[in-house]
Amino acid sequence: MCGYATHEVLNQPGAMGEVNLYTTDAALRAAMRVFGADWAEARLTRCGAVTGSARVQELARLANRYVPELRTHDRFGNRIDSVEFHPAWHELMALLRADGVHALGWTEPRPGAHVARAGLAYLWAQGEAGVGCPAVMTFASVAALRHAPDVLGRFGEGILSPGYDPRPLPPGAKKSLGVAMALTEKQGGSDLRQTQTEAVALGGGQYALTGHKWFFSVPTSDLFLTLARTGAGISCFLAQGWRDDGSRNLLLLQRLKEKCGNRSNASSEVEFRGLEAVRVGEEGRGIATVLEMAHLTRIECALGSAALIRQALGLALHHAGHRNAFGKRLIEQPAMENVLADLAVESEAALWLSLRAAAALDASERDDSERALTRLLAPLAKYFICKRAPAAVAEALECLGGNGFIEDHVMARLYRDAPLNGLWEGSGNVICLDVLRALAREPEAGRALQAEIALARGLHPDMDHFLATPPPDPTEQNARRLTEHLALGLTASLLLRHAPPPLADAFCRTRLRRDYGLAFGTLPPGLRLPDILARAALA
Ligand SMILES: Cc1cc2nc3c(=O)[nH]c(=O)nc-3n(C[C@H](O)[C@H](O)[C@H](O)COP(=O)(O)OP(=O)(O)OC[C@H]3O[C@@H](n4cnc5c(N)ncnc54)[C@H](O)[C@@H]3O)c2cc1C
C-alpha cells in the first residue's frame, strides 16, 4: 500500500482482460457447425480475438465517450455538412470492414456464407455495437440495389470491398464505399406511405428530391437509399453524398440526435434541397424495394440483441466469479447461481433463434420453403430477442451491483443500447403485424415453421404439450401473443435438437411450461444449473 492510501483495494474483480469471443463461446461454435459455416472457423477465430482484444475494448470506450460532432460550416462560412468522428470510430470501422461483416454473405460462394457473416456480426456487436449500423446498411443495401443492375454494376465492388475510406470524395474516386438509408420522416416512420419528400424527374434517369428525413444515421456515407414521391407513388432512390464533380450533394445536415445509446454512431436530421438521385427499382414500388433491405437489417437487430445478452452475461459471470460476499464467491451463492443460469439460458436461446434466421437466408436460394421461412423468421426473431434483451441486460447489470450502473464499466453502455434494436427497423407492434402479414400472404412459411418445431416432437414432455396446444388466433390484438408463441416453439425445438440437454430442459420447463416467475432468476428446483453455467463460461 502506498504511503498516502487509507486502505487496500480488495475484492474488486478488475477488468475482464483479453478474451477470444469466438473460441470461448461454445454455443456459437456449435451453431456454426450445425448451420454449415464451420469452414469459416479460422476467420471467426481471428475476429473473436480482435473483437475481444484490449485494443477494441479501449476503442469502443473512446468512440462512445467522444461522440460525433456536427460541422455544418467551415471556418470561412462555407457549408460543409460534415460530421467529425473520434479517430477510434474510424479505426473500428476499418477493422470491421477488414473482417467482412458488411460483405461476406455476398462475396463468399460457399453454402453457409450468410451464417458465417452473421457469426462475425455477432462478434462485432460485442466488440462495439455502434459500427454495426453502417456495416449492416452497407451489407443489406445489395438486396435493394439488385433492382438496379447498372447501379450495382457501378458501385458493387466498392460496397463489398474490405477497405475503409472515410474521405469526402465522390464514390467514383474511391475504392471502398459505405451505404446508408434515410427513410423515416417526422409524420411517419413505420407508416412509410406517409412519405412527403417529392422527386422531380430531370431526364436521363436523374431526379431532384426535396423534403426532409427525421432520422438518418451515418449521413456522411458515400451512398444512401431513400424514398420520395413521384406521380406513380412512393419510389426508392439512391443518392451520392458527394457528386461526381466533388461538391457535396444538396443534403443539409440540420442536427445530430442526442441519443440515449448507440452514441458512437452519428444519427442526423436532414433536408434535401433538390438532392440529385437515381431511381432504384420500379416507380411507385419503393416501399417494397426498401423492405428487401429491411428484411436483412431486421435479422441483424435480432443478432445484435443476442450479442448484447451474451456480452452482458459474460461481464456478469466475470464479476460473480471474482467477487466475494457473505463468505463465498457470488457465483456460488444459490440465488445468484439461479440468476446467472437463467441469463445463460436466455443467451443461448437468442443465439440459436437469430442464427436460424440467418441460416434461412443461405438456404432460401435453393429451397422454396426456406425462402418462405426467411420472410417469417426475420420479424419473429427480431421481435422476440429484442424484447428480451433490455430485461436481460438490466438483470446482468444488477449482478455487478453499483459498479454496473457506473459509466466506467461497460455494462452502463450496454444498458443504454439495449432498447434500440427493438425499435428501429420496425418497432414491436409493427414487427408482430408483419408476422401476421407473412403468415397470411405466404401460408407455406407457417407450414414450414410448424414442421420445423415438430422436429422436436418426443424430445421433451413440455414440447409435446406445446405441440398439442392451439396457437393464438392471428388477430391484430393477438399479434404479440402469437409471435411470442411461435418464437418460443421454434427456439425450444432448436435447443432440444442442438443444445446440451440441461439447457434445453431449463428452457422448456420455464418458457414453455411457464413454471417460472416474472423476473430472471426464478428457475424452478431440479435443473442442472452448474452444467448450464459451465456451458456459458468464457473458457
Ligand atoms: C438511433 C436511431 C437511429 C435511426 N436511424 C435511422 C436511419 O438511419 N434511417 C431511417 O430511416 N430511420 C432511422 N431511425 C428511425 C427508426 O427506424 C424509427 O424511429 C422506427 O422505425 C419507428 O418509427 P417512428 O419513430 O416514426 O415511430 P412510429 O412509427 O410512430 O411508431 C410509434 C409506436 O407506434 C407503434 N405502431 C405503429 N403502427 C402501429 C400499428 N399499426 N398498430 C399498433 N402499433 C403501431 C410502433 O410499434 C411504435 O411502438 C433511427 C432511429 C433511432 C432511434
Q: Is 437 in the pocket of ligand 1 (CB under 6 A)?
A: no
How confident is the model at residue 2, as a pLDDT?
64
- From the CB of 182, is ligand 1 less than 6 Å away? yes
CB 389 within 8 A of CB 380: no
199: left (phi over 0), alpha (psi -120 to 50) or beta: beta
Query: What does DSSP say about strands 233-240 and 251-256: parallel, antiparallel, or unpaired?
Result: unpaired
Q: What percent of the chain has pLDDT over 90?
A: 96
Specify the residue with its C-alpha closest to ligand 1, atom 26: 189
Q: What is the pLDDT of residue 89?
A: 98
Nearest CA to ligand 1 atom 40: 430
* Nearest ligand 1 atom to alpha carbon 213: 11
- Is 225's C-beta closer than 6 angstroms to any atom of ligand 1? no
Of all protein residues, the one whose alpha carbon is nearest to atom 38 of ligand 1 is 430
Rounded to the nearest whole angstrom, what is the distance from the C-alpha of residue 368 to the centroid of ligand 1? 31
Atom of ligand 1 nearest to the CA of 265: 1
Pocket test for ligand 1, best of 136, 287, 429, 437 (most atoms within 8 A of CB): 429
Separation CA 117–CA 123 (nearest Å): 10
Please give the distance, rounded to the nearest whole angstrom, from the Cα atom of residue 387 to the centre of ligand 1: 15
Q: Using alpha carbons only, what angle is made at residue 416 by residues 427 and 267, rounded to the nearest 5 degrees?
A: 65
Residues of the chain with pLDDT under 50: none
Q: Ligand 1 within 6 A of 190 CB?
A: yes
Check pocket membership of 189 for ligand 1, CB cut-off 6 A: yes
pLDDT of residue 193: 96
Report the relative pairing of strands 233-240 and 324-325 from DSSP bridges: unpaired
- Return the ligand 1 atom nearest residue 181 CA: 9
The number of C-alpha atoms within 13 Å of 508 and in the hemisphere containing its C-beta is: 27
H or E segment and range at residue 535: helix 529-536
Ligand 1 pocket: which of 184, 272, 300, 383 to mutate (most atoms <8 Å of CB)?
Answer: 184
Query: How far is ligand 1, taken at its centre, from the CA of residue 425, in Å?
Result: 7
For the Cβ of 62 lying below 6 angstroms from any atom of ligand 1, the answer is no
Cβ–ligand 1 distance for 416 under 6 Å, the answer: no
Q: Please choose, from the candidates 337, 396, 351, the residue with its C-alpha nearest in 3D space to the C-alpha of residue 522.
A: 337
Q: pLDDT at position 4, please?
A: 80
Q: What are phi and psi of 513, to 5 degrees?
A: -80, -20
HSE of 375 in the Cβ direction (CA atoms, 13 Å)? 23
Using a 10 angstrom Cβ sphere, with 0-12 exposed, 13-18 middle and 19 or more buried, the burial of residue 406 is: exposed
Helix residue spans in 236-367 (DSSP H): 286-322, 334-364
Check pocket membership of 262 for ligand 1, CB cut-off 6 A. yes
pTM for the whole thing?
0.97
Residue nearest atom 14 of ligand 1, based on CA coordinates: 215
215 lines ligand 1 (CB under 6 A): yes
Nearest to 516 by CA among 346, 354, 386, 401: 346
pLDDT of residue 408: 87
pLDDT in tens, 115-124: 999 999 999 9
Using the atom order of ligand 1, give the atom closest to the CA of residue 262.
1
| Closest atom of ligand 1 to CA, residue 424 | 17
- 282-292 pLDDT, tens digit per residue, is 999 999 999 99
Q: Which residue, among 180, 138, 183, has the nearest Cα to 156 in the 3D structure? A: 138
Look at ligand 1, atom 33, and give the residue with the nearest C-alpha.
Answer: 427
* 424 touches ligand 1 (CB under 6 Å): yes
From the CB of 217, is ligand 1 less than 6 Å away? yes
Nearest to 356 by CA among 120, 138, 32: 32
Q: What is the mean pLDDT of the chain?
A: 97
What sign does the CA torsion over 93, 94, 99, 105 have? positive
Report which protein residue has its CA nearest ligand 1's atom 19: 424
Is the shortest distance between the CB of 194 and ligand 1 below 6 Å? Answer: no
Q: What is the pLDDT of residue 3?
A: 74
Residue 221 CB less than 6 A away from ligand 1: no
CA atoms of 306 and 386, how far apart (whole Å): 8
Q: Which atom of ligand 1 is nearest to the CA of 186?
A: 26
Give residue 1's pLDDT. 57
Cell numbers standing for residue 107: 462475396
427 CA → ligand 1 middle, Å: 6
Among 179, 185, 297, 430, say which to mutate for ligand 1: greatest number of ligand atoms within 8 Å of CB. Answer: 430
Closest by CA to 398, choosing from 315, 467, 466, is: 315
Write the residue with the smallest CA distance to atom 7 of ligand 1: 216
Is the CB of 428 inside a 6 Å radius of any atom of ligand 1? Answer: yes
Q: Evaluate: CB of 450 within 6 angstroms of ligand 1.
A: no
SS (H, E, C) 68-110: CEEEEECCCCCEEEEEECCHHHHHHHHHHHHHCCCCHHHHCCC
